[in-house]
Amino acid sequence: MKHYSRYHSTKKTARNTSRKPHNTLWTAVLIYLSHHYHAIRSTLAMFSTQPLSTLLTALMLGISLSLPGSLILLTDNLNRVINQWGNSAQISLFFKTTTPIQSVREIATQIRQQPGVAAVRQQSADESLAEFNQLSGFSQAMDLLKENPLPAVIIVTPHLSQAEQLITSMRQQFSHHPQIQMVQADSDWVQRLHALLAIGTQLSIVLSILLSLAVLLITGNVIRIHIESRRQEIEVAFFIGAAPSFVQRPFLYAGFFYGLLAGLTTWGIMSYTLWQMKTPISAFANLYGQTFSLSWSTAQQGQLIFSGIALGWLGSWLAMHIYLYRLQTKQTVGTQL
């Protein structure tokens, strides 16, 4: 907005002689838009002189982005799968046989209210016996016993993401509970899975940062080369009254377009990879009796292309600002901006 007011407050000749506007704000908007129009034309001229190198740069940026992009997609999908399978992580509370069913119910209600609990199932001693008979085939042997040796059980299913905390807190709460014989949780595999997933997530974060930095540097360097090739032109523009914003705009657009091309290239690479992997992955999932396919939401695709654009723009912004700073401080050229 700064530009609008500066333009129409100082550039009276343009307003009076060439536009005959209805109001000054409209003139400012027109001037602003015309500057963008000329900047885009200038950028396209920049690209059209070296179409091959533009495409190669975009391809290089696209490949750089597709590695962290794929890794993020993979960990994201793994997270989804693990949450699907998460129901298999369970905590069992075995009660003392003397515990009345009323106390079991009370404790079950109490557990339901705890955070991180996905489901609670209670099973009386009789139900435990019925289940044991059904599953073990020792029903006749059990009949010989005078009393039911099996306890009542509460089976707690945690939300996977909070499984570890829940297991720890349940152990603390109930290990020494007078009515509870034993707290059992097979949390090892959950922990291992989480550790693996954490490594994957961490790796994708580190790679994302590194390769984003690479994209930033590549765009910055490409823009620097563009600036070098137009150095004389930039100087002339400053001499005939261009503001820094006018001079930098074509280069910022160049960064924007490089980023857009990079985003689209990455999108293409990843779409192709997903399409290629579709059959082997569903075949693999079928072996485990699961139906599963890699998914890539529209929001994620949008995010990817947006990150490309943001990185490209930022790279060119950095290159331009370093250049302008050097130009201002270089006394030999003496260019006052």
End-to-end C-alpha distance for the chain, whole angstroms: 20
Question: Is there a contact between 40 and 246 (Cβ–Cβ < 8 Å)?
Answer: no
Phi, psi (rounded to 5 degrees) for 180: -110, 130
Q: How far is the CB of 226 from another protein (least distance, A)?
A: 12
Site stretch for another protein (CB under 8 A), options 30-38, 73-81, 137-145, 155-163: 30-38
Q: Which segment (106-114, 169-177, 190-198, 230-238) binds another protein by CB under 8 A?
A: 230-238
- C-alpha torsion 129→133→138→140, nearest 10: 80
> 241 and 44 in contact (C-beta within 8 Å)?
no
Q: Does 237 bind another protein (CB under 8 A)?
A: yes
For residue 336, state whether it binds another protein (rule: CB under 8 A): yes
CA distance 168 to 159: 14
What is the rounded distance in angstroms from the CA atom of residue 262 to the CA atom of residue 64?
9
Length of the chain: 337
The smaller minimum CB distance to another protein, of residues 6 and 80, is found at 6
- Of 17 and 98, nearer to another protein (C-beta) is 17
Binding-site residue total for another protein (CB under 8 A)? Answer: 34
Q: What is the DSSP letter of 175?
A: T
Contact pick of 5, 34, 191, 297 for another protein (by CB under 8 A): 34
Of 102, 134, 232, 298, the one binding another protein by CB under 8 A: 232
C-alpha span between 317 and 303 (Å, rounded): 20
Q: Which is nearer to another protein, 125 or 320 (by Cβ)?
A: 320
Between 32 and 292, whose beta carbon lies closer to another protein?
32
The answer to whether 320 and 223 are in contact (CB under 8 A) is yes
User: Which of 246, 273, 292, 305 forms a contact with another protein (CB under 8 A)?
Assistant: 246
Find the part of the chain contacting another protein (CB under 8 A) among 17-25, 143-151, 174-182, 309-317: 17-25
Binding to another protein, residues 305-334 (CB under 8 A): 331, 334
Q: What is the C-alpha to C-alpha distance for residues 85 and 72, in angstroms, rounded to an integer?
A: 20
Per CB under 8 A, which region of 154-162, 235-243, 250-258, 274-282 contacts another protein?
A: 235-243
Indicate the residue among 30 and 117 with the shorter CB distance to another protein: 30
242 makes contact with another protein (CB under 8 A) = yes
Amino acid of residue 233: E
Using rule CB under 8 A, residue 335 touches another protein: yes
Instruction: Determine if 7 is a binding residue for another protein (CB under 8 A).
Output: yes
Rounded CA separation 183/170 (Å): 8
Nearer CB in complex with another protein: 31/154: 31
Give me the numbers of helices (H) and strands (E) for the chain, helices first please.
12, 4
**How far is Cα 64 from Cα 84, in angstroms, rounded to an integer?**
31
Tokens linked to 85: 């399978």
111 in contact with another protein (CB under 8 A) = no
Using rule CB under 8 A, residue 17 touches another protein? yes
Cα 314-317-319 angle, rounded to 5 deg? 110
Residue 25 binds to another protein (criterion: CB under 8 A): no
Please tell me whether residue 149 adopts helix, strand or coil conformation.
Answer: coil
23 binds another protein (CB under 8 A): no
User: Contact residues for another protein (CB under 8 A)?
Assistant: 6-7, 10-11, 13-14, 17-19, 30-32, 34-35, 38, 45, 49, 232-233, 235-243, 246, 331, 334-337
